[in-house]
Amino acid sequence: MSEELRAAIVQDDRTGRVLMLGWMDEEALARTRETGLVHFFSRSRQKLWQKGETSGNTLRVVEVILDCDEDAVLVRAQPDGPTCHDGATSCFTPWLWRKILQREQEGSDASYVATSLREGAPLLARKVGEEAVELAVAALSEDDDRVVSEAADLWFHTLLLLRSRGLDPAAVEDELRRRDR
């Protein structure tokens, strides 16, 4: 590779969420501008590639901005599906959501996540209700460690419920941002 690589940060044009970081050489930058689809240079494969060329989850360019030194790129884009290879909206996805996606994909009968997701929304909705009551009771009568433990259970089961409905927690974050206006 004779050309210098630039860090390329991809940001969702609608939400402002950072979706991923990739690397662009001059050819990747030119192809991105020419096609309106984000291209990168793969350091591991040492070749140009289009985001979504195998998954179909492309990134449609809205704007390409070079920083003041022209050694980094900000790409504002509209994602067509999840950006991360693991199915998450962003490669900068919280640990717990990434773990849920991983366990779901593995599909083991020994996995609480996988079996709960197979049971679906009815089971998980009941579980969220149960955990919410347990958190409320703990908040009124138990120590902080118990409150944290019950909050963790509610948070976890809420994420499972979202996944069972095919929703990403990023949608909840977007709704809260919308309400902040």
The rounded distance, in Å, linking the Cα atoms of 58 and 79 is 6
Can you tell me whether residue 82 is helix, strand or coil? Answer: coil
Which comes out higher in pLDDT, residue 35 or 181? 35
- Note whether 28 and 68 are same-domain residues: yes
Q: Is residue 30 part of a domain?
A: yes
Q: What is the mean pLDDT of residues 1-6?
A: 73
For residues 143-159, one letter each, b for 16 or more C-beta atoms within 10 angstroms of the residue's C-beta and e for the rest, the string is: eeeebeebbebbebbbb
Mean of per-residue pLDDT scores for the chain: 95
- Note whether 134 and 173 are same-domain residues: yes
Structural domain of residue 141, as residue ranges?
95-179
Q: Is residue 31 part of a domain?
A: yes
Is the pLDDT assigned to residue 111 strictly greater than 90? yes
Q: Which of 19, 49, 79 is the last residue of a domain?
A: 79
Q: What is the mean pLDDT of residues 102-123?
A: 97
Check residue 1 and give its pLDDT.
39
Is the pLDDT assigned to residue 153 strictly greater than 50? yes
Q: Is residue 170 part of a domain?
A: yes
What's the number of domains the chain is made of?
A: 2
pTM for the whole structure? 0.78
Is the pLDDT assigned to residue 2 strictly greater than 80? no
Q: What is the mean pLDDT of residues 38-65?
A: 97
- Note whether 162 and 119 are same-domain residues: yes
- Note whether 52 and 114 are same-domain residues: no
Cα–Cα separations (whole angstroms), residue 69 to 6, 24, 65, 173: 11, 15, 11, 33
Q: What is the DSSP annotation of 134-181?
A: HHHHHHHHS-HHHHHHHHHHHHHHHHHHHHHTT--HHHHHHHHHHHT-
